[in-house]
Amino acid sequence: MQSWQQEIQERSFIDTEYLNSLITRYENSSEEDFRRIMDKTKTGARLELEDVAILIGARAPHQVEEIFNSAKAMKERVYGNRVVIFAPLYLGNKCVNHCTYCGFKCTNTEMVRKTLTVPEVEAEVKALEKEGHKRLILVYGTHPDYTPEYIAETVRATYATKFEKGEIRRVNINASPFTVEEFKVIKSADIGTYQIFQETYHEETYKKVHPMGEKSNFKWRLFGLDRAQQAGIDDVGIGALFGLHDWRFEVLGLMSHVIHLEEKFNVGPHTISFPRLKEAIGNSVLEKNLVRDEDFKRIIAILRLAVPYTGLILTARETPELRRECMALGVSQIDAGTQIELQGYTKKDREQDLANEQFMIGDSRSLDDIMCELMSNGFVPSFCTACYRLGRTGEHFMEFSKPGFIHEFCTPNAMLTLNEYLNDYGSEEAKRVGKALILSEIEKATLPEHIKNSVKDKLGEIDGGTRDLYY
């Protein structure tokens, strides 16, 4: 019997009936309930399911505005104005699943199937390094070719590939769930965050949109990150594909997952992603569940208030305009210069070909263009990887991030990695805006004077050619 066909004995932590009852009970939150929860958010505590349901049901214009403003303040309190930058790298699109919403599904005969060889991976990594990337997430389909050994080999090849001043310092993974022993093989390659999206936490909907293949086993996937934790991977990421079911249920499903991980492993998710359903070959979904832009913004803001310590990832599925509007609502990570076609970075001048992509992306701007926009709007793009390389992960990361102490590490490190980018890869416009931003950030940073002086010294070292400095 294949591992994914095994029956998971543990009871699901998704209580569908209870989550639905919360949605019904707080469909229109009272002002008294709303005020109580907003007061609670000021403590920085992680919210409970009922608290989140009350925020979901708060739909009055003044309530929504307060949620948005509070989310912005929370993000600045915990993460400052920095935004972590990464790029996705697709290594294979072979798939045994029949996810009705996905271009990679096994029944899509229009898809050109390919798995990158190690030399092809190295070529893609070099192309990304030429642009200035330091952080990648490697994305694998669900197929026998994508074994733990293949994943570990390609992760090691990614770390080992260096072009001129470029190097990848953090490799995250998005792949199907494995057994504990298989996860140990993957961990041995020194991966960063392991990311598994449940897609939808509503089991009946899940079965409809995943009718066959490994992904058809709801609980095998649901407990995938438990097995990763048991294998020693203490940085994990969760997510839901918004548009498959009622977004209110999915937010409560994500929160149920957060609470489960905290209670069982004393470590919540390092990141939460909230991609929206986009056009794909053969896409068959119910229009009634598609999420409006205004509700999408509410999702981001509510998640920021609900799980203050967790990184929130806004993907290039969204348009530049919407990404711009959402940045202030609690987003702390975005992908930039994104290509999702196999070998897309070495052939990036080609137009998008939906027949060879998982879905249609909305923001195909270059890394430098996105960097310039972020900096012009007062955000500090960060390529920092110090926490992971110094062991500040899992419980240790939560110890730092929950009370906001992460500022002492992340703000200086963001400035250092930004200065590296500007010197090595930045356009003249990026250098003009970025150098001024760094000086401004140093002056207004609430850091002891000796640390400010230390940052200035390290920035000078970087200007002189030294690389990879961090706290």
Sign of CA dihedral 199, 67, 295, 340: negative
pLDDT at 22: 98
In a domain, 376, yes or no: no
pLDDT at 111: 83
Are 37 and 167 within one domain? no
Lowest mean pLDDT among 136-145, 203-212, 351-360: 351-360
Q: Using the structure block, give the residue that is written with the tokens 């999206």.
A: 197
**pLDDT band for position 284 (cuts 50, 70, 90):** low
Mean pLDDT for the stretch of residues 328-332:
94
Reported as type and span, the H/E element at residue 89 is strand 82-90
Average pLDDT, the chain: 92
In a domain, 415, yes or no: yes
Mean pLDDT for the stretch of residues 433-444:
95
In a domain, 274, yes or no: yes
Are 224 and 277 within one domain? yes
* 350/54: higher pLDDT: 54
Q: Which candidate, 331, 192, 256, places its Cα nearest to that of 46?
A: 256
pLDDT at 138: 98
Are 320 and 269 within one domain? yes
Mean pLDDT for the stretch of residues 247-266:
97
Q: Using the structure block, give the residue that is written with the tokens 């649901």.
A: 222
Q: Which domain holds residue 144?
A: 79-365
Alpha-carbon distance 341 to 187, whole Å?
26
pLDDT at residue 406 greater than cutoff 70: no
pLDDT at residue 101 greater than cutoff 60: yes
CATH of the domain at 318: 3.20.20.70
Task: For residue 13, give every residue at least 6 positions away whose Cβ sits within 8 Å of its Cβ, in sequence order, or none.
Answer: 222, 256, 257, 259, 260
Q: Using the structure block, give the residue that is written with the tokens 């952080």.
A: 135
Alpha-carbon distance 456 to 416, whole Å?
9
pLDDT at 373: 98
Are 236 and 335 within one domain? yes
In a domain, 8, yes or no: no
Are 220 and 147 within one domain? yes
**pLDDT band for position 355 (cuts 50, 70, 90):** low
Environment class of 283 (CB within 10 Å of its CB; exposed 0-12, middle 13-18, buried 19+): middle
pLDDT at residue 207 greater than cutoff 60: yes
Are 123 and 34 within one domain? no
pLDDT at 285: 54
pLDDT at 133: 98
Domain boundary among 72, 89, 118: 72
**pLDDT band for position 333 (cuts 50, 70, 90):** very high
**pLDDT band for position 103 (cuts 50, 70, 90):** confident
Are 121 and 143 within one domain? yes
In a domain, 219, yes or no: yes
pLDDT at residue 430 greater than cutoff 90: yes
Is the CB of residue 244 less than 8 Å from the CB of residue 280?
Answer: no
**pLDDT band for position 1 (cuts 50, 70, 90):** low
Tally the domains of the chain.
3
Alpha-carbon distance 192 to 99, whole Å?
27
Are 50 and 96 within one domain? no
Q: Which candidate, 193, 180, 185, 225, places its Cα nearest to that of 88?
A: 193
Are 200 and 184 within one domain? yes
Mean pLDDT for the stretch of residues 77-83:
91
Reading the block at residue 198, the tokens are: 């449940």
pLDDT at residue 351 greater than cutoff 80: no
Is the CB of residue 352 less than 8 Å from the CB of residue 102?
Answer: no
Domain boundary among 315, 343, 365: 365
Beta bridge partners of 113: none
Cβ density class 190-214: b for 16+ within 10 Å, e for less = ebbbbbbbbbbbbbebbeebbeebb
Are 65 and 83 within one domain? no
In a domain, 200, yes or no: yes
Is the CB of residue 182 less than 8 Å from the CB of residue 73?
Answer: no
Grouping H, G, I as helix, E, B as strand and the rest as coil, residue 369 is helix
pLDDT at residue 286 greater than cutoff 80: no
Domain boundary among 365, 386, 413: 365
Are 88 and 52 within one domain? no
pTM comes to: 0.93
Is the CB of residue 306 less than 8 Å from the CB of residue 351?
Answer: no
Mean pLDDT for the stretch of residues 71-92:
94
**CA end-to-end distance (rounded Å), the chain:** 48
Is the CB of residue 177 less than 8 Å from the CB of residue 220?
Answer: yes
pLDDT at 457: 96
In a domain, 446, yes or no: yes
In a domain, 419, yes or no: yes
Are 24 and 161 within one domain? no
Amino acid letter for position 363: D
